[in-house]
Amino acid sequence: MYISNHGIPLSLFQTAQDASLDWFRSPLADKEPANTNNSIKNKGVVGYRPRQTQHINPWESVDVRESFSWRYDPAYDPLHSPSSLESIPPHVKKYVEHDTDGFPWSLTPKEFSQPVIRLYQAVLALGRQLVRVFALALGLGEHDLDEKFTWPDAGVAVNYYPPITPRSPQQQPHSEPQQPKVGIGSHTDFQLFTLLYQDDVGGLQVLSPEGQWLNARPVEGTLVVNFGDYMQRITNGKWVSTVHRVVNNSGKERLSIAFFWGFGLHESCGVLDSVLEEGEEKKYEEIGCWEWVQRRIEMMRDVKKGMGETTV
């Protein structure tokens, strides 16, 4: 699904895109200080990941992408004034605690951080608006879900896909099955939905219900909306989470920014009564958002263990 007329000026995306490209093109040594391993509180979750250090789907190649990620931090949320940050409820606080030295942003130049954070703030407002649209579509009142997004799980990944050249037939031994080199392997996102900005290079693919990979071509001024697993759960499977991956065969570098959107990690939600037909059974039990995210991470690790894979 694509959305247009979302109200965020194209220039905000383009400025963040240019700033991100500049940063990713800089020497590895300049990016390494922000490596996710250097985070104290959110190792492996926030910060920089060099190329080919992740393997999301063990049935495909290692992920070629580099990425820079961060988690929701109320300090960047225009909904919360600096004074209200002192009164974050304790049950919320433990999920929104960050490295006190401002990692990873403190280790990147402001030419990168400022435009990207400005865009993030605009997308936070859009996410809150979209939740209201979805609430209405799910038979709820417009504002029924607002409270669950006071401290949303609104993380981001800025993804950089260096150009890759497909292997020539001579390089591909006959005995090996043809395996695409993926920028990021096939997966579903964990939470409710993801708003995805992509440049004009292309390479994003989504799996159709018939099992065919469809190209989600870039359309200027739009954002791709992918449903995540938690959305599938609360809608009793009516809104299915989107299996997607990136295969960048363009010979050019590609940039995308994925804004993940979910209920606050301290929140919990089961199948919404409003989506159930008469007599319909609930397929999923209620589960807290934090527990769900942890379970999904474990599920990915189990798949890797089953493949004899040890790296995450």
Ligand X SMILES: O=C(O)CCC(=O)C(=O)O
Distance in Å, CB of 212 to Fe ion, minimum:
19
Tokens for 53, please give them: 């250090």
CB of 38 to Fe ion, least distance (A): 24
The residue sitting closest to Fe ion, measured at its beta carbon, is 189
Site for Fe ion in 174-203 (CB under 5 A): 189
Q: Smaller CB distance to ligand X: residue 4 or 87?
A: 4
| 63/267 with CB nearer Fe ion | 63
Q: Rule CB under 6 A: is residue 184 a binding residue for ligand X?
A: yes
Contact 70, 34 (CB under 8 A): no
Determine if residue 133 is left, alpha or beta; phi over 0 gives left, psi from -120 to 50 gives alpha, anything else beta. alpha
Burial of 204 per CB tally in 10 Å (0-12, 13-18, 19+): buried
Q: Which tokens go with 3?
A: 């959305």
Find the binder of ligand X among 108, 159, 191, 235 (CB under 6 A). Answer: 159
Which phi and psi angles does 254 have, rounded to 5°? Answer: -130, 145
Alpha carbon distance 110, 89 (integer Å) = 31
The H or E element spanning position 256 is strand 254-261
Asked if residue 17 binds ligand X (CB under 6 A), the reply is no
What single letter denotes the amino acid at residue 109? P
Q: Near ligand X by CB under 6 A, which window of 85-93, 174-182, 196-204, 270-278?
A: 196-204
Which residue, chain included where needed, has tokens 């409820």? 89
Write the binding mask 234 to 273 for ligand X: x where contact by CB under 6 A, - elsewhere: ----------x-x---------x-x---------------
* Cβ 188 to Fe ion shortest distance, Å: 7
Give me the residue whose beta carbon is nearest to ligand X: 256
- Tokens 């759960």 found at: 233
Residues that bind ligand X (CB under 6 A): 157, 159, 184, 189, 196, 198, 204, 244, 246, 256, 258
